[in-house]
Structure 1
Amino acid sequence: MARYTGVYGFPESADGARRLAEALNVPCHIAELHRFPDGESLVRLPESVERAVVYRSLDRPNDKLVELTLAASVLRRQGATELCLVAPYMAYMRQDAVFRPGEPVSQTVVGDWLGRLFDRFVCVEPHLHRTHTLDEVFVGRPSVCLSGAGAIAERLRRDGVAPDTVIVGPDEEAAPLVEAVAGPLGLAALVGRKERRGDRDVTVTLPADAPLAGRPVAIVDDVISSGETIFSCARAARAAGASSLRVFGVHALFDAAVAARFQSEGLGMPLSCDGVPHPSNALPLARLIADALAAPC
């Protein structure tokens, strides 16, 4: 008997929910959402299943968090005994400490909130810094942190990646992703150093001896939003002599203006995993997530 007996999705992520349900070979149900003129949400769900996966990526999260709370209450009331939240992109993970007086530790607040609603969590490349595992976020709840590296590596393999390609990450936080992409392909890897002065004021420097001259470079990062980190990293790679550049991101959060800038910078459209619905989606995650759900906690 399958551990989970149904997948629930939401309108903006219905395709991802259906792909996951197909991989699990269980029914898929899509919630109905109504937004009142004052901004409140009404969530309607079809009949409940006993052990449910709720699928929703938490990019642009504020309304989604309230709607997840409402959905979980409906499923519990209708008899669900186990709820697993699959959030390919998990929000509010970056604020894991008080950096200035008067700030919240948002990671702890949201972790406690969701931990009261769901029994298990599956996320992909959560934006963790000083927190080492999701178990520290969702205390007392089994949590699985998946990597998008396999999807990126598989695409590079399928495209016939050149053996002298270098996998480059913009900073030390990208090192695990970079190594997980490069290692199975037998490729060289390096990471730069990022100086961030503001949300859109970023400089990436690469090692002075970076062996990029005449070699193809694939830049990989977990999140692409403003694009400034990637643009700076690309400029540094070109200055070091890279013969060509490709860009891969696990989570694509950038808008049309940033997409146009990727084109004008000669980088083409980045390729992203399909956890966050986006025009750049090209790297499937459903099988990876389904395998994680099938594994014992």
Structure 2
Amino acid sequence: MTAPRLKIFSGNANRPLAEEICKAIGVPLGEATVTKFPDGESFVKINENIRGQDVFIMQSTCTPTNHHLMELLIMIDAARRASANRITAVIPFYGYARQDRKDQPRVPITAKLVANLIVAAGATRILTMDLHSQQIQGFFDIPVDHLFASPVFFEHVEKIGMRDKNLVVVSPDVGGMKMAAAYATLMGSALGMVWKKRTSATTVESVNVVGDVDGKDVLLVDDITETAGTLINAAKVMRAHGALSVRAAVSHALLSPIAYDRLKGGEIDELITTNTIPVDPRGLPITVLSVAGLLGEAILRIHNNESVTGLFKVKGF
């Protein structure tokens, strides 16, 4: 019996990343028509035979979130109805992840709803990166491979010479302490935290800092930034406490117009992010690192039924 062939398809959310992944692992990007009708309805047609094949569908659910989510669901359904052997949804950025609990009366748990939709569409496996909260993996009733962007950030930090005794890794809020602690351990640096108070959905008032940043180079770490309010306010607090420089490492930069305006202020020396979603630097100090190699290697290992644990390791650790 012939082993299933590896097939990779992409929606319109982040086709350049899909093309980069395919180039990195030497697999051609599959032919598919992904467009929409004049009334906005999505239309998908897979233009090659995938019967019995190992199919990977690459789609970040970034802006416009609902449209890209529907593209993903329809592509999965098309692959299922075309008799694919296995369908892995590759979701570098998982939208709706911040709605992962009932924190007030009569609100949904949308992260779970989206997980249900993806499974119902026909996905048999998920490959994603830096979920907003670890428990989202449990929202799926299918296997989830959860990667981290930390190896990519680590290489960049070493390249620019930040990884030394003068570095302090800081979480811009209480919720990110576990992530910041992991980065601090990885980089052998001190750890700090900013305690913040949110005043609205778009504004944050940072209140105090825990840890010593006086005369230090600070690396703020977070998984998502949209308005950059948390990062900018944390950076202001860092500088007020004597930080020499402030950089931010954020896995998913969903930069809104408000975020670009705030970044122009210069409080952050460099925003380091990844290409899990398309990012336009717009002449600002924004460095976009590629996760194509990481995702590509994960795809190959999943296809060959190998462990992906080795992808969590960083050179020298």
TM-score (normalizing by structure 2): 0.84
Q: Report the identity percentage.
A: 24
1:48-107 alpha-carbon deviations (Å, 9 max, x no partner): 431111111111321112222221222122221111011111012222233333322212
Q: Is the 8 A contact 1:166 1:188 kept in 2?
A: yes
Provide the rounded CA distance (Å) in 2 between the counterparts of 1:270 and 1:3.
41
Q: 1:198 to 1:285 in 2, by over 3 A?
A: same
Q: Is the 8 A contact 2:195 2:206 kept in 1?
A: yes
Is residue 173 from structure 1 mapped to residue 179 from structure 2 by the alignment?
A: no
Q: SS at the partner of 1:29?
A: coil
Q: 1:4 to 1:119 in 2, by over 3 A?
A: farther
Aligned residue in 1 for 2:315: none
Provide the rounded CA distance (Å) in 1 between the counterparts of 2:3 and 2:24.
12
Provide the rounded CA distance (Å) in 1 between the counterparts of 2:253 and 2:26.
28
**Which sections of structure 2, spanning at least 5 residues, go unmatched?**
281-285, 308-317
Q: 1:98 to 1:11 in 2, by over 3 A?
A: closer
Q: SS at the partner of 1:132?
A: helix
Q: SS at the partner of 1:7?
A: strand
Report how far residue 8 of structure 1 moved.
Answer: 0.6
Aligned residue in 2 for 1:159: 160
Provide the rounded CA distance (Å) in 2 between the counterparts of 1:58 and 1:271.
21
Q: How does 1:119-138 map to 2 (within 5 A)?
A: 119-128=124-133, 132=135, 134=137, 136-138=138-140
Provide the rounded CA distance (Å) in 2 between the counterparts of 1:214 and 1:240.
9
Aligned residue in 2 for 1:277: 278
Is residue 68 from structure 1 mapped to residue 72 from structure 2 by the alignment?
A: yes
Provide the rounded CA distance (Å) in 2 between the counterparts of 1:93 and 1:255.
18
Q: SS at the partner of 1:71?
A: helix
Specify the code of the residue in structure 1 equivalent to 2:213. Answer: L
Aligned residue in 2 for 1:54: 57
More divergent stretch after superposition (264-273 vs 82-91)? 264-273
Specify the code of the residue in structure 2 equivalent to 1:84. Answer: T
Provide the rounded CA distance (Å) in 1 between the counterparts of 2:227 and 2:209.
24
Aligned residue in 2 for 1:98: 102
Provide the rounded CA distance (Å) in 2 between the counterparts of 1:42 and 1:7.
18
Provide the rounded CA distance (Å) in 2 between the counterparts of 1:268 and 1:195.
24
Q: SS at the partner of 2:55?
A: strand
Q: 1:167 to 1:160 in 2, by over 3 A?
A: same
Provide the rounded CA distance (Å) in 2 between the counterparts of 1:213 and 1:268.
17
Q: Is the 8 A contact 1:14 1:30 kept in 2?
A: no
Aligned residue in 1 for 2:295: 289
Aligned residue in 2 for 1:23: 24
Provide the rounded CA distance (Å) in 2 between the counterparts of 1:56 and 1:34.
14
Q: How does 1:210-249 map to 2 (within 5 A)?
A: 210-249=211-250
Provide the rounded CA distance (Å) in 1 between the counterparts of 2:104 and 2:267.
38
Aligned residue in 1 for 2:118: 114
Report how far residue 281 of structure 1 moved.
Answer: 5.4
TM-score (normalizing by structure 1): 0.90
Provide the rounded CA distance (Å) in 2 between the counterparts of 1:201 and 1:2.
53
Q: Is the 8 A contact 2:12 2:68 kept in 1?
A: no
Q: 1:173 to 1:149 in 2, by over 3 A?
A: farther
Provide the rounded CA distance (Å) in 1 between the counterparts of 2:5 and 2:135.
28
Report how far residue 4 of structure 1 moved.
Answer: 5.9
Specify the code of the residue in structure 1 equivalent to 2:70. Answer: V
Report how far residue 30 of structure 1 moved.
Answer: 5.4
Provide the rounded CA distance (Å) in 2 between the counterparts of 1:167 and 1:193.
14
Q: 1:73 to 1:201 in 2, by over 3 A?
A: same
Provide the rounded CA distance (Å) in 2 between the counterparts of 1:48 and 1:256.
42
Aligned residue in 1 for 2:46: 45
Q: 1:4 to 1:84 in 2, by over 3 A?
A: farther
Q: SS at the partner of 2:30?
A: strand
Q: 1:97 to 1:179 in 2, by over 3 A?
A: closer
1:131-157 alpha-carbon deviations (Å, 9 max, x no partner): 6350x1112x11011112221111000
Report how far residue 286 of structure 1 moved.
Answer: 1.8
